[in-house]
């Protein structure tokens, strides 16, 4: 149970956030269903696969942010890094793939967004996301964010927005918008992997625990206020003054190193899959173009012989 048995259902499952997630899913199904039929009748129906992809993304985000995985992320650093990978490397591309282009076009149709167009430059989004992610894992900043709950929510929201902006260039769901060429997309994904590596290396190869909330019981008790309402000081006596180490079969350093390895592995798999998808799309496009060129050549030769 990893220690979850010591806490209430409300603390572990965050019912209000769960209901909000269900509300988002219902809203999505309405927009791609009845609302689409009424306002965008010429748009093709959204497939069951894409609907299932969105539902999975919403549930994954809930689990990693306010659900059981999010709760465990405040106890074990390895879960924390798993949650970071799910929230910023897996969920955004799933949402971009599953939300149809006409909804994105409608959402960004206001002229206001044009004033912020400069923020969507590929280099800006590349640096912005990786800088926010790397700065967050500087120990003093990480501990500050994790123990100041308003800052925590704001920082996570900004990182989520930056993640969507970054992934937008890998898969642009609005077909009328300029698409980054396949070669540049491959380089863009590769550059993301390179820029994310230093933060993972810092965590994996450190010879001492970096983060006080997983090492200092007093700081950990403060950070648990994000998950548990009211006074959390009782956690010290509950855990026999060991803090999060009470629930962990690994040492703090081993847990920290495992977290860095998990993040790097998930990043490599995610980026590897996307590299393969982009390359396949590029190959298919080039192959189709070759067939078109061959057919045009045949037609020209046939006309010439006539």
Rounded-to-integer distance, Cα 236 and Cα 34, Å: 52
Structural domain spans, the chain? 4-305
CA dihedral 138, 142, 143, 147 (to 10 degrees): 160
The answer to whether the predicted template modeling score (pTM) of the entire model surpasses 0.75 is: yes
Mean residue pLDDT of the chain comes to: 91
Judged against a pLDDT cut of 90, whether residue 283 lies above it is answered with no
pLDDT of residue 300: 57
Rounded-to-integer distance, Cα 33 and Cα 215, Å: 49
Tell me how crowded residue 240 is: count the other CB atoms within 10 A of its CB: 10
Among the residue ranges 34-43, 131-140, 170-179, the one predicted with the least confidence is 170-179
Rounded-to-integer distance, Cα 220 and Cα 156, Å: 19
**Sign of dihedral through CA atoms 280, 281, 285, 288?**
positive
| 107: Cα within 13 Å, side-chain hemisphere | 9
Residue 126: both structure tokens together: 């590349």
Residue 293: both structure tokens together: 């060129």
pLDDT of residue 34: 96
Residues ≥6 apart with Cβ < 8 Å to 281: 182
Rounded-to-integer distance, Cα 101 and Cα 109, Å: 12
Judged against a pLDDT cut of 70, whether residue 292 lies above it is answered with no
What is the per-residue pLDDT across 225-255, written as a single tens digit (0 to 9) for each?
A: 999 989 999 999 988 889 999 998 899 999 9
pLDDT of residue 201: 93
**Sole residue written with tokens 């919403």:** 58
Cβ density class 276-300: b for 16+ within 10 Å, e for less: ebbeeeeeeeeeeeeeeeeeeeeee
Question: What mean pLDDT comes out for the span 70-86?
Answer: 96
Judged against a pLDDT cut of 70, whether residue 306 lies above it is answered with no
Chain centroid offset of residue 260 CA:
16
At 169, is the secondary structure helix, strand, or coil? coil
Q: Please count the helices (runs of H) and the strands (runs of E) in the chain.
A: 15, 0
């Amino acid at each position: 149970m990893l220690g979850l048995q010591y806490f209430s259902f409300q603390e572990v499952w965050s019912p209000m956030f769960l209901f909000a997630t269900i509300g988002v899913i219902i809203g999505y199904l309405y927009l791609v269903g009845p609302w689409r039929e009424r306002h965008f009748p010429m748009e093709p129906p959204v497939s069951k696969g894409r609907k299932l992809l969105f539902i999975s993304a919403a549930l994954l985000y809930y689990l990693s942010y306010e659900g059981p995985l999010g709760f465990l992320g405040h106890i074990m650093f390895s879960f924390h890094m798993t949650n970071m990978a799910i929230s910023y490397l897996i969920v955004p591309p799933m949402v971009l793939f599953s939300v149809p282009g006409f909804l994105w076009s409608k959402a960004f149709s206001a002229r206001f967004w044009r004033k912020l167009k400069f923020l969507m430059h590929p280099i800006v989004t590349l640096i912005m996301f990786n800088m926010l992610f790397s700065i967050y894992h500087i120990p003093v900043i990480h501990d500050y964010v994790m123990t100041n709950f308003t800052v925590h929510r704001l920082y996570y929201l900004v990182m989520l927005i930056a993640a969507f902006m970054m992934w937008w260039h890998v898969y642009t769901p609005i077909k009328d918008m300029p698409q980054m060429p396949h070669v540049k997309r491959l380089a863009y994904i590769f550059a993301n992997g390179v820029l994310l590596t230093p933060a993972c290396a810092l965590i994996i190869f450190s010879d001492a625990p970096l983060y006080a909330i997983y090492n200092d019981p007093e700081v950990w008790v403060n950070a648990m206020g994000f998950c548990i309402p009211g006074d959390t000081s009782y956690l010290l006596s509950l855990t026999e003054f060991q803090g999060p180490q009470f629930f962990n079969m690994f040492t703090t350093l081993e847990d920290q190193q495992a977290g860095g390895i998990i993040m790097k592995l998930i990043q490599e798999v995610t980026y590897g899959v996307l590299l393969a998808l982009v390359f396949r799309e590029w190959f298919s496009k080039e192959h189709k173009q070759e067939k078109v060129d061959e057919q045009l050549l045949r037609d020209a030769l046939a006309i010439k012989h006539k």
